[in-house]
Amino acid sequence: MIYTLQSINAKTYSGDLVFLYGDEAASRDLPLGKKEIELLSTRRQEKKDQLLVFDRLPHHIYVLSFDSEREASFSQEMLRRKAMDLLRRLEADKVDDIALTGEGVLPEEVAAFIEGLTLADYSFDRYRSADVWHLNTLVIDSLYLKPEELEANHRLWNRIHWCREWVNLPVQDLNASSFADELVSIAADLKGVSCTVMDKKKIESLRMGGLIGVNRGSVDEPRFVVLEYKGSKQPPIALVGKGVMFDTGGLNIKPGSYMEEMKSDMAGAATMASVLFAAADNRLPVHLVALLPMTDNRPGYNALAPDDILTMYDGTTVEVINTDAEGRLILADAIAYAQKNYDPALIITAATLTGAAVRAISTFGIAAMQVNADNPYTLLSLVGNQVYERLVQFPMWDEYDEMIKSKVADLRNSTASPQAGTITAGKFLAHFAHGTPFIHLDIAGVAYFSKPQHYYRFGASGYAIRLLYAFLQMQDMIKK
């Protein structure tokens, strides 16, 4: 989609026009006739959130009515969601070039609507033979956005786009080595960003027992990618993302349809790389390190087996109870590496880690946990409510530690009980932070949608990028 800014007079504009209307007190600039205004008023009395279309042959005026008097974050989220309704109507009308203005609408509401349009317009098309409809151009009334604001948002949305592309790609076309190569290429074009790629030999020399152990069943070699963006001289925030390029479950192989969509099990790594790139694109004054352990999880060769005992990067021994609890094994090595080598102010993990998270809160938010990070977590939760990528905090009580103790090693990677699966996974990861402030985001329910939801079509969502980016924009609010 091509975005441009220009002054728009709604009453004289001659093309297809989208008009946001949020407040009855502001009606003098409505581009409608008397009877059309009466119809709009009547319809708003019935329901304020709706789309009305008025013919101006050969063009149309799409009036998106909403309630601007609601709480700001909710109002903005409703505008994002209504963007999908508009896109469906535009496609039906074969309209792919539109202009956008409004009345009784705030700049941040306009920005939220454009964001919704952008996210809703994405679909994974590269393997399709037939052409797929997309919005071509969007002319935005310059009354609402400054050029630098639009450009900064556009760069963020571009990173979300590429995150979704990576997560949607099948492992045949994006394995650990090819993903690492792509990250190297992107980092080379960004000022202040460095990229280090560690191959299997280097990973073995570091004694990363989790990453090497999970990789034992695969013909494809693992990679451990470290991206660093030095936008400030402060201690870094470490962003650790799970990069299981495809998850069969290993010898505890996933049954039936549970193996579908497992190309998305690297969404955590794609998310954290995208957050760092977005911060670098817009020159945020933060110091970030993204640590991305990558491998697929296969049942071949000398595959990891239940009862195996691994020695992790920090020396912790782990009894393998279930080879399908592999994500926490590779994340543990990366967390310990971050803690030892970067002394971060905060470690944040993102991972499609547990089906238990989906069963607990469905697909409407992120299951989150924290240890020693009260202030950062509070800010992250507030930001989540603002951008509507919301967190549900799970407890990290000491009693849960008993559930991951092993009789033959320091820890076990899973429990025999189906209870508290999301929490015990978070507890396992927190061990490797060794007291460093730690936040864990289980994005299993939101990284990939099996059917369209709100302004996301089927497939990868890029969920949590907007959350973490907004959090990074507000770092000065955290009390040290």
For residues 384-393, one letter each, b for 16 or more C-beta atoms within 10 angstroms of the residue's C-beta and e for the rest, the string is bebbbbbbbe
pLDDT of residue 23: 79
Q: Is residue 151 part of a domain?
A: no
d(CA 100, CA 154): 16
d(CA 389, CA 386): 8
pLDDT of residue 477: 63
Closest CA to 362 of 438, 442, 437, 291: 442
d(CA 16, CA 133): 17
**Domain that residue 101 falls in:** 2-142
Cβ atoms of residues 68 and 105 within 8 Å? yes
| Pair 302, 407 in one domain | yes
Q: Is residue 147 part of a domain?
A: no
| Pair 78, 198 in one domain | no
Domain termination residue (choose one: 142, 174, 191) = 142
Domain termination residue (choose one: 111, 142, 173) = 142
| Pair 97, 212 in one domain | no
| Pair 200, 101 in one domain | no
Q: Is residue 297 part of a domain?
A: yes
Helices (H), ranges, 236-373: 267-281, 327-342, 355-361
| Pair 296, 376 in one domain | yes
- Average pLDDT for consecutive 10-residue bins of the chain (480 residues)? 95 95 76 92 92 94 93 95 96 96 94 98 95 96 96 98 98 98 98 97 98 98 98 97 98 92 98 98 97 98 97 98 98 98 98 96 97 97 97 97 97 91 97 98 97 95 98 76
| Pair 456, 308 in one domain | yes
Strands (E), 22-152: 50-56, 59-65, 97-103, 137-141
**pTM score > 0.75 for this model?**
yes
Q: Is residue 149 part of a domain?
A: no
Cβ atoms of residues 305 and 405 within 8 Å? no
| Pair 204, 132 in one domain | no
Determine which helix (DSSP H) or strand (DSSP E) holds 2, and give its type and residue range: strand 2-6
Q: What is the CATH number of the domain that holds 45?
A: 3.40.220.10
| Pair 56, 191 in one domain | no
pLDDT of residue 479: 47
Q: Is residue 150 part of a domain?
A: no
| Pair 78, 27 in one domain | yes
Closest CA to 422 of 348, 356, 342: 356
pLDDT of residue 418: 84
Q: What is the CATH number of the domain that holds 346?
A: 3.40.630.10
| Pair 292, 370 in one domain | yes
| Pair 93, 188 in one domain | no
Q: Is residue 148 part of a domain?
A: no
Q: Is residue 189 part of a domain?
A: yes
Strand pairing report for 317-319 and 411-412? parallel
Domain termination residue (choose one: 142, 164, 184) = 142
| Pair 95, 228 in one domain | no
pLDDT of residue 25: 65
Number of domains into which the chain is organized: 2
Q: Is residue 427 part of a domain?
A: yes
Residues with catalytic function: 254, 328
Q: Is 229 exposed, middle or buried (0-12, 13-18, 19+ CB in 10 A)?
A: buried
